[in-house]
């Protein structure tokens, strides 16, 4: 679902990114506003004005969504959860969590603050709109502030639907979770409701499309599709989490990884190790001492003509919490570590010595075998 992401800016320690899909959506929103909603609500304005209103309206919507996601992130941080940043895509954004919420109460607070912030933003824009009317501001200005008041109300209402993983669905899950003290069951119930809402929206969208409401129908269809996928994915995530919980990295790491000496050249590494073993990462040793690791990503950054003279020692990255893990770490934490660092391999280190290597593929293979062998019982 996530494609290429672009970093926009950093605020209060959170990185704000946009998914490539959001650019398509931004164009679609601007176009819907400039050629649909604004000409309908405020006829007889010049076409250029509608486009200007469309762009400002889309930017205002963008800022509103960022503010909504920020409120989630701030509450999450208050409950001690690690947040990776905010990525805007399709309808709205996601505040990316490194972990699941620690408690039902934390999830409830985190979820409810989103719709509340949208309501607050909507009320503020409505106040500005009323002020504009009273002070005789021009129609395009009042039009945009009215739209932003209205769309924030819609955002709040949409996010309050009890359809997991929307905010309302998270509120529902936290209540179920708190009531039965069973996160897996709570997620199963709330994501089934979420998926049902998604299918309902898809059907409604097709119906609207056929009966002539092309733009509205298209939006419903897209949102329904997104919701259904997101609901199913969230439940699968919980399954993976449950299967890997309590499993130590030691159990499925590769205890005999191929290592390289730090004195060899990049050329040597590429020819005799990367092309031979097809691994993307090699632990780098100096004698029998682990000094770091080298990845294909780092090799790519070295100009081709330097491969013959540059040694691995200069190109490798030193051992750090980003690329190493202890064999007694929980598999779930290994997964979170890979996710945070954007890597698929970690060095397994015990008392400063390399004892193995763990890859995302190992984790997933272990998971699918475990499900296959144990689930039937």
Question: Three-state SS across the chain?
Answer: CCCCEEEEEEECCEEEEEEHHHHHHHHHHHHHHHHHHHHHHCCCCCHHHHHHHHHHHHHHHHHHHHHHHHHHHHHHHHCCCCEEEEEECCCCEEEEECCCCCCHHHHHHHHHHHHHHHHHHHHHHHHHHHHHHHHCCCHHHHHHHHHHHHHHHHHHHHHHCCCCCCHHHHHHHHHHHHHHCCHHHHHHHHHHHHHHHHHHHHHHHHHHHHCCCHHHHHHHHHHHHHHHHHHHHHHHHHHHHHHHCCCEHHHCCECCCCCEECCCEHHHHHHHHHHHHCCCEEEEEECCEEEEEEEHHHHHHCCHHHCCCCEHHHHCEECCCCCEECCCCEHHHHHHHHHHHCCCEEEEEECCEEEEEEEHHHHHHHHHHHHHHHCCC
Stretch that binds Zn ion, among 107-115, 195-203, 284-292, 359-367 (CB under 5 A): 107-115
Nearest approach, Cβ of 159 to Zn ion (angstroms)? 5
Nearest approach, Cβ of 106 to Zn ion (angstroms)? 15
Stretch that binds Zn ion, among 110-118, 296-304, 335-343, 351-359 (CB under 5 A): 110-118
Nearest approach, Cβ of 32 to Zn ion (angstroms)? 22
- By CB under 5 A, is residue 101 in contact with Zn ion? no
Stretch that binds Zn ion, among 132-140, 161-169, 196-204, 218-226 (CB under 5 A): 161-169
- By CB under 5 A, is residue 19 in contact with Zn ion? no
* Residue choice 114, 122, 217, 257 for contact with Zn ion (CB under 5 A): 114
The residue number whose beta carbon is nearest to Zn ion equals: 114
Nearest approach, Cβ of 367 to Zn ion (angstroms)? 29
Closest to Zn ion by CB, 168 or 283: 168
Closest to Zn ion by CB, 34 or 171: 171
Nearest approach, Cβ of 281 to Zn ion (angstroms)? 36
- By CB under 5 A, is residue 167 in contact with Zn ion? yes
Binding site for Zn ion (CB under 5 A): 114, 159, 167
């Amino acid at each position: 679902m996530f494609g290429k992401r672009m970093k926009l800016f950093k605020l209060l320690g959170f990185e704000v990114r946009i998914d490539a899909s959001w650019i398509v959506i931004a164009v679609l929103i601007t176009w819907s506003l400039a050629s649909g909603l604004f000409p309908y609500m405020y006829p007889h304005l010049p076409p250029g004005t509608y486009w200007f209103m469309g762009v400002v309206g889309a930017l205002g919507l963008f800022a509103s969504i960022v503010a909504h996601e920020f409120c989630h992130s701030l509450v999450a941080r208050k409950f001690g959860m690690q947040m990776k940043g905010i990525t805007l895509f399709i309808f709205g954004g996601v505040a990316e969590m490194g972990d699941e919420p620690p408690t039902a109460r934390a999830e409830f607070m985190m979820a409810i603050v989103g719709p509340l912030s949208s309501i607050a933003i909507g009320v503020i824009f409505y106040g500005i709109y009323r002020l504009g009317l009273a002070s005789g501001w021009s129609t395009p200005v009042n039009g945009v502030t009215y739209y932003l008041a209205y769309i924030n109300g819609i955002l709040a209402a949409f996010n309050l639907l009890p359809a997991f993983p929307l905010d309302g669905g998270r509120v529902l899950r936290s209540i179920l979770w708190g009531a039965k003290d069973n996160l897996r069951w709570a997620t199963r119930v709330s994501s089934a409701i979420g998926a049902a809402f998604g299918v309902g929206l898809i059907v409604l969208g097709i119906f609207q499309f056929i009966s002539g409401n092309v733009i509205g129908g298209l939006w419903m269809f897209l949102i329904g599709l997104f919701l259904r996928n997101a609901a199913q994915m969230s439940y699968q995530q919980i399954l993976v989490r449950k299967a890997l919980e309590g499993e130590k990295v030691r159990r499925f790491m590769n205890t005999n990884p191929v290592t390289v000496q730090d004195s060899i050249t990049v050329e040597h590494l590429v020819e005799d190790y990367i092309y031979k073993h097809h691994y993307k990462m090699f632990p780098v040793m100096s004698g029998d001492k682990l000094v770091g690791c080298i990845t294909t990503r780092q090799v790519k950054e070295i100009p081709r003509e330097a491969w013959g003279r540059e040694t691995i020692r200069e190109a490798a990255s030193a051992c750090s919490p980003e690329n190493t893990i202890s064999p007694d770490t929980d598999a779930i934490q290994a997964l979170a570590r890979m996710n945070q660092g954007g890597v698929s391999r970690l060095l397994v280190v015990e008392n400063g010595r390399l004892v193995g290597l763990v890859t995302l593929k190992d984790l997933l293979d272990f998971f699918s075998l475990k499900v296959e062998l144990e689930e039937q019982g």
